[in-house]
Structure 1
Amino acid sequence: MANFYSVLLTLVCIAAGLIWWYDAKVNKPKREARIAAEEQRLQQQLDAEARERLAPQGGLAEFAQSVFPILLIILLLRSFVYEPFRIPSASMMPTMLAGDFILVEKYSYSLRDPIWRTELVNLGKPERGDIAVFKYPPDESFDYIKRVVGLPGDRIIYQNKTLYIQPACADTAAQCPPLEMIRKTAQQQNEVYFSGSTPLLRFTEQLGESSHEILVNPASANLSGEWVVPAGHYFMMGDNRDNSEDSRFWGFVPEQNLVGRASFIWMSFEMDRSADSWLPQWFPTGVRWQRLGTVE
C-alpha cells in the first residue's frame, strides 16, 4: 500500500498530540493543584525533584510530549516538502537503477493532504522531461516513477523505437506546431547495460529542457501506437524503453495522481548478491557513491 506510511505516521502523530493535549489540559492542572496544596501545608516551596515525586507526569504522557514535535516535523516534511522513495526495477535505466533511493519534491506540482490526497494548493504543472512519481492508475495503492513525455492535448506517436510529439495546439489549425521526431544521439558504450544476454543501445534524448539518456533493446519487437493526451492527464514513459510498463500499455496519468518530481539520489546500493550467499538477497553488496546527486 503506497500510502500506508503516510496514513500510519499521520495517525500516530494525531494520537501523540491528543495524549499530550489531554495531559496538559486535564492532568497537569490536577498535578499543579496537588503541589500547591502540599506547599501550602508545609509553608514552603518545593524543589523540582520533590514536585516530581509528589505529582509525577505519567510515562505515556511524557513520551507523547517528547515525540509529538518530532513526529509533526517529520509529517510536515514528508507530506509537503520531500518524501523518500526506493527504485525497485530497471524501467528507468540508465537514469535510475534498482537500489537507488531518491527524494521526491512534494511541492513541485501541488500540496495534498497525506491521507485523502485532496489538493490544498496548486503550485505548478509537470514539464515535458520531468521524472515524476505518481499513483499507478490501474491500482493507486502502488507508486510508479516514469518520465513525463506527453502533456495535455499532445499527440504522441511511438513507432520503430522512435518517439514523435505534436504539442497541443490552439483552435486554429494554422497555429498548430508540426509533428516532431525526437532525435536520439548514440552514446559511447563505456558502460553496457543488458537485457538478458542482449546488450542495450544507449542514446541521448532531448525532451523539453531535459537532456537524458535512454536504452533501446535492438532484439525486442517494435511497439507502435498513437495517442492524444486528454485534458488534465499526462503520458509517461520509462527511459528503458523496451523494458518499461508505462502509458503505452495502461494509458494516461490523471493530474490528481501526481505525487511529486524526483530531484535527488541520496543513496544507491548495489543489489547483486549471489543465490548461494548466506546473507538475504535484499542485503546490499555495496554502495554506488558515484550515483549520488541530482537527476535529470
Structure 2
Amino acid sequence: MSITKNEALAAATTAVGGAKPKKARKEQKGFFGLVRSVGPALAVALGIRAFLFEPFSIPSGSMLPTLQIGDYVVVSKFAYGVRIPFTNRMLFQAATPMRGDVIVFERPTVEPETLIKRVIGLPGETIAIVDGVLQVNGEAQPRDLLEKGYGFDDYDEHRRQWRGSSADLYVERLAEPDGSHRHFVMEQIRGLPSQGPWRVPEGHVLVLGDNRDNSADSRVFGFVPLGNIRGRADVVGFSWGKDGLRTDRIMRSLDAKVPEGA
C-alpha cells in the first residue's frame, strides 16, 4: 500500500510533535496546581491587608516618644468601618475617630502621602494652642511635666545618622465624656506664639504629632477628611532602632507606659 505525500507529512509532524502536548499538559497542570494551592492563601492575605490589618513603619520622629523611629505598628483598618481598597471612599462608616486615637491616613494634598498622627479635634470643635497648652473649645487640656530635659534618640534624615536630642516631657490629658485620655507629648521650643484657633469642619478631624514642635500636621496641611483615614494604630508589632531589635516594644500598646497618676 502506498502512502501519499500529504499522509507522510502528517505522520512526520505527529511523530516529531507527539511528545509536546503531553509535556505541555504536565506543565499546565503544574502551573494551575500551584495557583490552586497558593491562590487561596494569597487571597486571604490580601483580604486581611485590605480590610482588617496592615503594618505601617514609622520613618520620622513626629510622634516621639509614643512612636519611635523604626517602630512597625499594626493598623486596624476596620476600626471606623470598611473602606474601598485603593480609594478614599467608605463602604460604610461604623464609627468616627475619638480624641486621642492615633490614626494612619493619606495627607489631603495634591501629592498624597501616608502619615500617622494623633486625633485632637473632632468635627465642629475649635482647637488652639496657647503658651504650649492645647485648648479644645476654649478649655485648656491639662498637662503635667514629667521630666525636664528628657533625652531620646532622633534620626537626621539628611545626614542619615542617629543623634541624641532632648525635650521637656509632659503627660497631656484630653477631656472625654467618660474621663480623659492620657498620652505623652514633648516640647522642645519654649515661648512659641499662640497657634489657631482652628474650627474643624464636618466630616474632618484635626491631627497633631506628639512631638509638637517637630511635626508637620494639620497646622501645615489642614484638616483630614474622614474618608482619608486608613485605620487606627493600637499596637507596636515590631521595632528596630539604633542598637537593633527593641524587644521591650514588641506587641506593646501605644500609650501603655503613660503613668496612671499623671
Matched position secondary structure for 1:193:
strand
> How many Å separate the matches in 1 of 2:72 and 2:164?
27
Counterparts of 1:92 and 1:161, CA distance in 2: 16
The structure in which a higher percent of residues are helix is: 1
Amino acid at match of 1:287: L
Report % sequence identity: 35
Give distance in 2, aligned partners of 1:220 and 1:88.
28
Partner residue, 1:290: 248
CA distance in 1, matches of 2:44, 2:107: 28
Per-residue CA distance 1:214-251 (angstroms, 9 max, x = gap): 00013574452210000001000000000000011221
Cα shift readout 1:48-70 (whole Å, capped 9, x = no counterpart): xxxx9996343332222122101
One-letter amino acid matched to 1:205: E
Larger % of strand: which? 2
CA distance 1:76–1:185, change in 2 (3 Å): same
Report the secondary structure of 1:62's partner residue.
helix
Q: Give the corresponding residue for 2:159.
A: none
Contact residue 150 and residue 167 of structure 2 kept, 8 A: no
Gaps of 5+ in 1: 1-51, 167-178, 273-284
Give the direction of change, closer, same or farther, for the CA distance of 1:235–1:139 in structure 2 (3 Å limit). same
* Structure 1 vs Structure 2 CA RMSD: 2.3
Which residue in 2 is equivalent to 1:84?
55
How many Å separate the matches in 1 of 2:169 and 2:63?
Answer: 13
Bigger RCO (CA 8 Å, 6+ sep): 2
Question: Which residue is equivalent to 1:228?
Answer: 199
* Contact preservation (8 Å) 1:85, 1:104: yes
Following TM superposition, the consecutive aligned residue runs of length 4 or more in structure 1 with deviations greater than 4 angstroms are 52-55, 194-198
Task: Calculate the TM-score normalised by the size of structure 2.
Answer: 0.77
| Aligned positions, number | 220
* 1:164–1:194 Cα change, 3 Å: farther
* TM-score, normalised with respect to structure 1: 0.69
| 2:155 is equivalent to residue 182 of structure 1 | no
Name stretches of at least 5 consecutive residues in structure 2 with no aligned partner: 1-21, 155-162, 256-262
Task: Give the partner amino acid of 2:254.
Answer: V
**Structure 2 CA distance for partners of 1:86 and 1:197, relative to 1, 3 Å:** closer
Pairing of 1:1-296 with structure 2 (within 5 A): 56=26, 57-139=28-110, 141-166=112-137, 179-188=138-147, 192-193=151-152, 199-207=166-174, 208=176, 209-218=180-189, 221-222=192-193, 224-270=195-241, 272=242, 285-292=243-250, 293-296=252-255
